């Protein structure tokens, strides 16, 4: 998923390079700079780092659990920072479906909305998965039978 988000964010920056400079967006200079850094640096770097973290955590060759835990926590902090910044920029956003909006502005804010939807859908799917797994997990180990209850040979 992180690889797909990385490719999508890079495509958004390459296809619509000057979307943050549009006069249609009512942002001050600081917010325009934040928007530019968010699109060009923070989103791609965050998704790249999360992709590396997922690859490291999923690799059975890496035995360092402390390193895996460290990258997991760093990834969560980076993702939360990304969502905080995207939310701040979207707060000042115009309606992306306004017929008078420029296409590059629409594409930029729709991508920000996609970032938020992916974050919240991942969060909800993880909650549902953990809830279902806890409901159906076997509480008794079937493979371990006490010696006094084993059948004679």
Residue 119 lies in a domain: yes
In a domain, 147, yes or no: no
Compute the CA torsion angle 46, 51, 57, 63 (nearest 10 deg): -100
Q: What is the pTM of this model?
A: 0.69
Domain annotation covers residue 123: yes
- pLDDT tens track for 75-123: 889 888 888 888 888 777 666 666 666 677 777 778 888 888 888 888 8
Q: Which residues contact 3 (CB under 8 A, 6 or more apart)?
A: 47, 51
Helical axes 2-15 vs 43-58, angle rounded to 10°: 160
> Does residue 82 lie in a domain region?
yes
Residue 151 lies in a domain: no
- pLDDT of res. 140: 59
Domain extent, residue 58, equals: 2-138
Number of domains in the chain: 1
Report if residue 149 sits inside a domain.
no
């Amino acid at each position: 998923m992180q690889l797909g988000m990385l490719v999508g964010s890079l495509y958004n920056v390459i296809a619509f390079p000057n979307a943050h400079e549009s006069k249609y967006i009512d942002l001050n200079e600081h917010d325009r700079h934040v928007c530019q850094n968010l699109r060009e640096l923070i989103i791609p770097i965050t998704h790249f780092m999360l992709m590396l973290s997922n690859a490291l955590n999923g690799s059975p060759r890496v035995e360092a659990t402390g390193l895996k835990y460290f990258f997991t926590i760093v990834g969560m902090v980076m993702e939360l920072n990304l969502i905080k910044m995207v939310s701040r920029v979207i707060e000042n956003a115009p309606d992306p479906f306004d017929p008078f909006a420029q296409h590059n502005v629409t594409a930029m804010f729709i991508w920000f909305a996609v970032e938020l939807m992916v974050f919240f859908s991942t969060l909800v799917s993880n909650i549902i998965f953990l809830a279902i797994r806890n409901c159906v997990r076997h509480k008794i180990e079937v493979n371990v039978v006490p010696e006094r209850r084993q059948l004679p040979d």
